[in-house]
Amino acid sequence: MEQELNPWRASEARFDIAADHLGLDEGLRKILRTSSKEITVHIPVQLDDGRLEVFTGYRVLHSGARGPGKGGIRFAPDVTLDEVRALAAAMTWKCAVVNLPFGGAKGGVICNPHLLSLGELERITRRYTAEILPFLGPERDVPAPDMNTNEQTMAWIMDTYSMHVGCTVTAVVTGKPLDLGGSRGRSEATGRGCMIVTQEALQLLGLKQEGARVVVQGFGNVGGTAAKLMAQAGFKVISIIEIDGAVYNPNGLDVEALWKHRAETGSITNFPGGENIDPGEAMCLECEVFVPAARENVITSMNAAGIRARIICEGANGPTTPAADEILQDKDIFVIPDILANAGGVTVSYFEWVQDRQGFFWNEDMINQRLKEVMVENFRRVVDCAKKYKVDNRIAANILALDRVAFAIKLRGIYA
């Protein structure tokens, strides 16, 4: 089971299968597996009590073959270089599968942000930015928020970079506040992207959207937004699963009321518009759509046989293990893999970068329409790829992504 739950082994296995289908030679595989740059910095910071502390930070650029690096920066006590390296590679494939002109990157600082003041976090962020500044830039590497970072963190990075280069450069990061060049529609983009590809899957399978039963695991930015938008679009959200429990209503939950209930009580449980239900039982409810949008490795060989959804739309990163994939395929469940399903966020981050570079900002309707165009086009490309190579959607998405990056490398050649 430990090997099954190792996300990096899962990623490597899927890479190998996709590369075999493409017939990639060993040299090209080595390039695709290897990071372009790996930066480790040590960040001296004076804490509020006067003590000096040294934090360690990382930034990894996996690939610049298709454009500047793109990927978040996380603050957490358990950040490792191996983790950042693997997440940077995952961003390369995610950007490629929706055909964005970006490579993959990721960053992290080893710290516990919950034990640090706002001032301490600002000093850590600014010194970290200054240390990796030669490698940042709208044409080099464009960070974004990730675990325990937010639009305020991005504002500090943007300001620090701008002070060093002597002018305001809003395009150096995405996920910024609207007043500093952020994009409309960004906060809802990942959940909206999940809904868009789910709509395409329903249409492909000849299923009706109106009244389609949905179970959502995770009620945060991704799962909560997906649930809200799906309910507004006519889906029937019958269950929401959270870390402390789950709620169920076979006639459909009032998602807006559930948001209010959690804001007031701190939990989704004991919601007047539904009944409490065991989270494991909720995952196995009969439904048209299951959206795992909480964390990795929630669908495993231990529970995959009990899943009774027709479609799984992976809002979270890595929610399904390779062993579970085989079971889901045998059950003829249509899986929309994470690197496609949750790519709405990075797509609207790309739109933010474009708007910043143009100095011209779009309204939300335009952003949502362009997001839909990107998600629909590449959903169909993944499905076509699955038919062509006679593989499941996950391997097809990996084939499409690897092919796009490998093609760029071949066109450019190897500089020596």
Query: For 214-294, where are the alpha helices, taking DSSP H only?
Result: 221-232, 255-265, 279-283
Q: For residue 238, which phi and psi values (nearest 5 degrees)?
A: -95, -20
Confidence at residue 3, expressed as pLDDT on a 0 to 100 scale = 66
The pLDDT-based confidence of 2 (bands split at 50, 70, 90) is low
With a cut of 80, say whether residue 9 has pLDDT above it.
Answer: no
Q: What is the pLDDT of residues 304-344, one digit of tens each?
A: 999 999 999 999 988 999 999 999 999 999 999 999 999 99
pLDDT at 290: 98
Above 80 in pLDDT, residue 6? no
How confident is the model over 51-93, as pLDDT tens digits? Answer: 999 999 999 999 999 999 999 999 999 999 988 998 899 999 9
Q: Which amino acid is at 39?
A: I
In degrees and rounded to multiples of 5, residue 216 shows phi and psi of -120, 125
Residue 99: is its pLDDT beyond 90? yes
With H, G, I as helix, E, B as strand and everything else as coil, classify residue 319: coil
The share of the chain scoring above pLDDT 90, in percent, equals 91
Residue spans per domain, the chain: 33-180, 183-416
**Which whole number is the average pLDDT over 14-21?**
92
Q: Which two tokens stand for residue 388?
A: 């062509």
Tokens read off for 163: 């002070």
Going by pLDDT thresholds of 50, 70 and 90, the confidence category of residue 102 is very high
Instruction: Determine the pLDDT at residue 319.
Output: 92
pLDDT value of position 215: 98
Which CATH class, in words, describes the domain spanning 33-180? alpha beta
Reply yes or no on whether the pLDDT at 390 is more than 90: yes
With contact defined as beta carbons under 8 Å apart, do 399 and 18 qualify?
Answer: yes
CA atoms within 13 A on the CB side of 222: 26
Please report the pLDDT score of residue 68 as a whole number: 98
Of 30, 70, 94, 106, the catalytic one is 106
* pLDDT at residue 83, rounded to an integer: 87
Whether 388 is a known active-site residue: answer no
DSSP 173: -
The band of 409, judged by pLDDT with boundaries at 50, 70 and 90, is very high
Q: Is 4 a residue whose pLDDT tops 80?
A: no
10 Å Cβ neighbour count for 218? 23
For the stretch 141-172, pLDDT in tens is 999 999 899 999 999 999 999 999 999 999 99
Closest CA to 110 of 36, 59, 49, 50: 59
- For the entire predicted model, the pTM comes to 0.94
Per-residue pLDDT at 120: 98
pLDDT computed for residue 374 by the predictor: 98
CA–CA separation, 269 and 247 (whole Å):
6
pLDDT digits (tens, 9 = 90+) for 349-359: 999 999 999 99
Q: Which of 4-13, 95-104, 144-153, 261-270 has the lowest mean pLDDT?
A: 4-13
Mean pLDDT of 170-193: 96
Which stretch of 9-23, 258-272, 383-397 has the lowest confidence by average pLDDT? 9-23
Angle between helices 7-22 and 81-97 (to 10 degrees): 40
Q: Which CATH class is domain 183-416?
A: alpha beta
Residue 132 has pLDDT above 90, yes or no: yes
Confidence (pLDDT) at 10: 76
CATH fold match for the domains 33-180 and 183-416: yes
User: DSSP 3-state assignment of 336?
Assistant: strand
